[in-house]
Amino acid sequence: MASSNLMLNNLWISNPWLVAIAINTVLMAIAFAIPKKLLTPAGYANAWLLGVIVWGALGWRGYATTLFYFVVGSAITKVGSAQKEAEGTAEARGGVRGPGNVWGSALTGAVCALAIVAIRLGSESAVDGGLTAERSSVWLSLLTLGFVASLSTKLSDTTATEIGKAYGQRTFLITTLQPVPRGTEGAVSLEGTLAGAIASVALGAIAWCIGLIPLIGVGVCAVAALGATTVESIIGATIEEKLMWLTHDLVNVINTTIGALLAIGIGWFIL
């Protein structure tokens, strides 16, 4: 009996997916018990699935990076909330996120995580030796960088938007540089842009500090985030409100995908 219990315990410890299910179930139960909600009930269910994917693929390091994004991003939306509500630029539901927000922000990261799992499984079953292992290692590093860059991009976008709406003294439409009211789609401000850059560096620095990406990856994520959020602003200024199917959540997916692809492309040459 003792040996059976030991084997069962070892199975739990050695299997990241079982650990992921256990940890996320406990955290979701705690989140539901806390009076102040950050997500809708459906949002929590989708966040549970996302958390399982991230922990199963990237372990506690990937999970901690995602948690940093979620906590900081949620806090940023509360900055200047009274003023933003008065001006009509506050987030819907008081900033409480739903499933669309969860996947709009993290679908790209989840795809990178699942691709990492697929490559690991493929390398374990491959007959081809060293070259396959070398290629797998390169792609694992690139996809991990893409994962971090996607979150860095979204945090940069969220921070720039929320700080710009709260504290932007002068906001300009990115395509014409004409002054526009705060909260206008495609508008940028110096305050928001600087805050977004700081946020992207901060998330990359967290990922580096815990050993998820190399130091140079922090800069790569910052550059990728800047490029992707610039494209996102252009989309917002030109076509987002003209195309019924182009929802804000879909724009977020496009934004984070561009950030991840830029980081992977840069990383291909420097890592």
pLDDT in tens, 231-240: 999 999 999 8
| Reported confidence tier of residue 16, pLDDT bands at 50, 70, 90 | confident
| Amino acid 246: pLDDT | 92
Distances (CA, A) of 260 to 101, 147, 229, 254: 18, 6, 12, 10
Closest by alpha carbon to 77, among 171, 195, 173, 170? 195
Please report which confidence band the pLDDT of residue 117 belongs to, taking 50, 70 and 90 as the band edges. Answer: very high
| pLDDT above 90 for 15 | no
- For residue 121, give the amino acid letter: L
Q: Is residue 113 over pLDDT 70?
A: yes
Least confident window among 21-30, 41-50, 120-129, 236-245: 120-129
- Confidence band, pLDDT 50/70/90 cuts, at residue 4: very low
CA–CA dist 215, 163 (Å, integer): 27
What value does the mean pLDDT of the chain take? 87
- Helices 41-77 and 130-167 cross at an angle (nearest 10°) of 60
- If you average pLDDT over each of 25-29, 78-82, 110-114, which comes out highest? 110-114
Q: What percent of the chain has pLDDT over 90?
A: 63
What pLDDT, on a 0 to 100 scale, did the predictor assign at position 125? 65
Please check the confidence at residue 65 and state whether its pLDDT lies above 50: yes
- The structure tokens listed for 258 are 């561009």
SS3 240: coil
* Between 169 and 24, the higher pLDDT residue: 24
CA distances from 11 to 6, 8, 57, 68, 201 (A): 9, 5, 17, 29, 37
